[in-house]
Chain A
Amino acid sequence: MTPNAPNVLDDAPNAPDARIPPEPAAGEPAVPVLRAEGLVRHFALARTRLWRPAPRLRAVDGVSLAIAAGESLGVVGESGSGKSTLARLVMALETPSAGEVEILGRNVHRLGRTALRRWRRHFQMVFQDPYGSLDPRQPVRRIVAEPLQALGETARAARDEAVAEVLLSVGLRPGDMAKYPHEFSGGQRQRIAIARALITRPALIVADEPVSALDVSVQAQVLNLMQDLRQRFHLAYLFISHDLAVVRYVSDRVAVMYRGRIVEMAPTEALYRAPAHPYALALLRRPAAAGPAMGDAELSDDMPGQAGCAYAARCPFAQARCRLEAPGLRDLGQGRQAACHFAEQIIAEGAETAHRLAEKRDRTAGPPESG
């Protein structure tokens, strides 16, 4: 345990201050809400040859990131890029093959079962599908109160009070408590899911594609709600999406993932103005490339031991050097990092592209030609 970590574990479960996200006292260095270091998660695939070792899918392959209190980090990438696995590793729903995840200074994969259960108060999750993530046989009261109940706060009156409060803060009525999920629309269901994540007053909410299952008109409402809540409760978000517009709206910084690695990390506006990695550039030019329809091919052609940049085969800027030498994530200044040998050139190229795109959008006010 880090000595600076606020010792919330030992608080009485019902003590009111246990709900407040711990903040470092003045003078102490700020503990990041989330710090991931060298996260790796391999999956064994089905054996293709009897005498060869089973191929491994490197879903997450050395990801390091940090999120400060109240900060929102967006993660984008096509499906199969390891975004969801990253979310599950952060949520301690899966065990990393290597690396560590610290939430408020505590390595969640090292905590004992009870300690982890208690620590989960500080990090909650919102899932993609609001139809699948709420138990159809439970009333809203139980769904929303479940994280509290798991913490051992079993006094029903107190729980109902907390449920009513969070329902109000997500724009639902306390009277909705007695209803069942099927009585709500998709957007309302996602509000219920958000209320559930809020009820323990976490410091971090991991949102895995929280709006991609919703109608476009409803997406905006839910995103606005998430922005409001973030300011009100000083929440940090790890916001995962394949939709660049959505990520741009909610994130302070964006991490672009490709094949289990972060290939670029930059402040949101800098990235959207001029990405430094060709893959990020491709995503901006062709947003559909990140969509859920793609990716199966990407999943299967994992080649272990391949030298050079993983993106070289798809990269229009690839040089001989790219196929020989894998670029590491390097600092480009102004808080941005990219894993590309030619990041500086790409930024210049990207600025031009972004400019052209913006012009075109203004002219046609329609969707880009490639769907």
Chain B
Amino acid sequence: MTPARASTIPGMSLGRGLRHPSLCIGAVLTLALVVMALLSLVWTPWPPDGIDIPHRLLSPGAHHWLGTDQFGRDVLSMVMAGAQTSLMVGVLAVAIGIGLGVLLGASAAALGGICEEALMRLTDFTFAFPAILTAIMLAAIIGPGTLTVVFAIGIFNVPVFARLTRGAAKAVWARDYILAARAAGKGRFAITIEHVLPNIMAPILVQGTIQFATAILAEAALSYLGLGTMPPQPSWGRMLFEAQTFLFTAPRLAVFPGVAIALAVLGLNLLGDGLRDLADPRLRRRR
């Protein structure tokens, strides 16, 4: 007797997902981002950090599909390799946010009372600092770099997930099946693991995709400001910054990473929206 494994989020199935246009587009764009990043690990048309001064600022052509930059580096290779950075920052920042945020939020909801107040005020305090400010502070302390960006965005994500988790968890704690679990002798910790977390996975996953998009955007912004990824590691934000000088002579240098950022963020946001629609029981019937 094997139970028919329920999908992670009730009501989510492949069939319904395919009929949801924004989910579809979002999934395709996100998949493209992931494939590009993975592919760049093993193959790029040219080495992304291969400086070739004689062939600098080439227009797109047969050899360099998207042309070259001021050092003669292949733009397509850099965009592909830049996806790695974006993806890594996104994954780590969201992981930090979910890890700490869900821990804080679920603990606050489980403990209640003064502990809950204290934990949530702590997250409010963190929330008061914009990611950029945190990044500047961190850059001043540990120096600029991809990790600085990861920590800054991760810390910024913690209160986002803490609040979401606490709110959703409190709603679950008020349900009768929690009372039933208590009457069966389950403690707060077991109830949180067995009942609360599975029932709040859907909103957390949805928020996760959206925060992922925010993280990619923030990484680009911070790298553009010179607080983030340092050369020679490729980064879309860094590419934008370097293209600035040639904005009038070679605008394509800014356009390609810009389009990459836009598509990645758009894809993740559409994916998040689609997942939210699927997870929303009110919309589930109609789809």
Chain A partners chain B: yes
Number of interface residues of B (CB under 8 A): 23
B181-195 interface code vs A (CB 8 A; 1 in, 0 out): 111111100100011
Instruction: Point out the residues of chain B lying under 8 angstroms from A141, CB to CB.
Output: 3
- Assembled-state Cα–Cα distance A133/B181 (Å): 9
Say whether, besides A137-B6, A177-B1, A178-B4, A132 and B177 are in contact (CB < 8 Å). yes
State whether the Cβ of B286 lies closer than 8 Å to any Cβ in chain A. no
Are B177 and A124 touching (Cβ within 8 A)? no
State whether the Cβ of B179 lies closer than 8 Å to any Cβ in chain A. yes
One of A146-154, A240-248, A309-317, A328-336 contacting the partner: A146-154
Are B10 and A137 touching (Cβ within 8 A)? yes
B178-220 interface code vs A (CB 8 A; 1 in, 0 out): 0111111111001000110011000000000000000000000
State whether the Cβ of A120 lies closer than 8 Å to any Cβ in chain B. yes
Interfacial residues of chain A within 111-127, with CB under 8 A of chain B in the complex: 113, 116-118, 120, 124-125, 127
A267 to chain B, nearest CB (A): 29
Which chain A residue has the least Cβ–Cβ distance from B201? Answer: A137
Are A135 and B3 touching (Cβ within 8 A)? no
A186 to chain B, nearest CB (A): 14
Instruction: Point out the residues of chain B lying under 8 angstroms from A120, CB to CB.
Output: 183-185
State whether the Cβ of A91 lies closer than 8 Å to any Cβ in chain B. yes
B90-119 interface code vs A (CB 8 A; 1 in, 0 out): 000000000000000000000000000000
- Assembled-state Cα–Cα distance A117/B181 (Å): 11
How large, as a class, is the contact surface on chain A? 20 to 34
Q: Which of B4, B181, B190, B199 contacts A137 (CB 8 A)?
A: B199
Are A93 and B183 touching (Cβ within 8 A)? yes
Which chain B residue has the least Cβ–Cβ distance from A119? Answer: B185
- Assembled-state Cα–Cα distance A264/B1 (Å): 52
State whether the Cβ of B249 lies closer than 8 Å to any Cβ in chain A. no
Most buried by B among A125, A150, A151, A193: A150
Instruction: Point out the residues of chain A lying under 8 angstroms from B182, CB to CB.
Output: 93
Say whether, besides A116-B185, A178-B2, A136 and B199 are in contact (CB < 8 Å). yes
A167-204 interface code vs B (CB 8 A; 1 in, 0 out): 00000000101111010000000000100100000000
Are A136 and B10 touching (Cβ within 8 A)? yes
Are A147 and B199 touching (Cβ within 8 A)? no
Which chain B residue has the least Cβ–Cβ distance from A88? Answer: B179
A71 to chain B, nearest CB (A): 21
Which chain A residue has the least Cβ–Cβ distance from B200? Answer: A137
Q: Which of A116, A135, A150 contacts B177 (CB 8 A)?
A: A135
- Assembled-state Cα–Cα distance A41/B181 (Å): 22
State whether the Cβ of A257 lies closer than 8 Å to any Cβ in chain B. no
Are A132 and B184 touching (Cβ within 8 A)? no
State whether the Cβ of A129 lies closer than 8 Å to any Cβ in chain B. yes
Q: Which of B10, B175, B183, B198 contacts A91 (CB 8 A)?
A: B183
- Assembled-state Cα–Cα distance A296/B166 (Å): 30
Are A133 and B176 touching (Cβ within 8 A)? yes
Instruction: Point out the residues of chain B lying under 8 angstroms from A193, CB to CB.
Output: 180
- Assembled-state Cα–Cα distance A237/B186 (Å): 22
- Assembled-state Cα–Cα distance A177/B1 (Å): 9
Interfacial residues of chain A within 55-99, with CB under 8 A of chain B in the complex: 91, 93
B9 to chain A, nearest CB (A): 10
Q: Which of B4, B184, B198 contacts A150 (CB 8 A)?
A: B184
State whether the Cβ of A134 lies closer than 8 Å to any Cβ in chain B. yes
- Assembled-state Cα–Cα distance A127/B199 (Å): 20
State whether the Cβ of A308 lies closer than 8 Å to any Cβ in chain B. no
Are A150 and B179 touching (Cβ within 8 A)? no
Instruction: Point out the residues of chain A lying under 8 angstroms from B176, CB to CB.
Output: 127-129, 132-133
Instruction: Point out the residues of chain A lying under 8 angstroms from B180, CB to CB.
Output: 125, 127, 133-134, 146, 193, 196
A175 to chain B, nearest CB (A): 7
Are B199 and A124 touching (Cβ within 8 A)? no
A152 to chain B, nearest CB (A): 9
A257 to chain B, nearest CB (A): 20
Are A137 and B198 touching (Cβ within 8 A)? yes
Say whether, besides A132-B175, A136-B10, A146 and B3 are in contact (CB < 8 Å). no
B169 to chain A, nearest CB (A): 14
B173 to chain A, nearest CB (A): 12
Which chain B residue has the least Cβ–Cβ distance from A147? Answer: B184
B58 to chain A, nearest CB (A): 56
- Assembled-state Cα–Cα distance A146/B176 (Å): 14
- Assembled-state Cα–Cα distance A197/B4 (Å): 25
- Assembled-state Cα–Cα distance A125/B178 (Å): 12
B242-282 interface code vs A (CB 8 A; 1 in, 0 out): 00000000000000000000000000000000000000000
Instruction: Point out the residues of chain A lying under 8 angstroms from B190, CB to CB.
Output: 150
State whether the Cβ of A139 lies closer than 8 Å to any Cβ in chain B. yes
- Assembled-state Cα–Cα distance A137/B179 (Å): 16
Instruction: Point out the residues of chain A lying under 8 angstroms from B198, CB to CB.
Output: 135, 137-138
Instruction: Point out the residues of chain A lying under 8 angstroms from B184, CB to CB.
Output: 120, 124, 146-147, 150, 196
Which chain A residue has the least Cβ–Cβ distance from B184? Answer: A147
By a beta-carbon cutoff of 8 Å, the part of chain A in contact with chain B is 91, 93, 113, 116-118, 120, 124-125, 127-129, 132-139, 141, 146-147, 150-151, 175, 177-180, 182, 193, 196
Minimum-distance CB pairs A-B, first 9: A178-B3, A150-B185, A117-B185, A132-B176, A133-B176, A147-B184, A137-B198, A135-B177, A120-B185
Beyond A125-B183, A134-B180, list 10 extra A-B contacts (CB 8 Å).
Answer: A117-B185, A120-B185, A127-B180, A129-B176, A134-B177, A135-B177, A136-B199, A150-B186, A177-B3, A180-B6
**Selected A-B contacts with CB under 8 Å, 13 pairs:** A93-B183, A120-B183, A125-B180, A132-B175, A132-B176, A135-B199, A137-B199, A139-B6, A146-B186, A150-B181, A178-B3, A180-B6, A196-B184
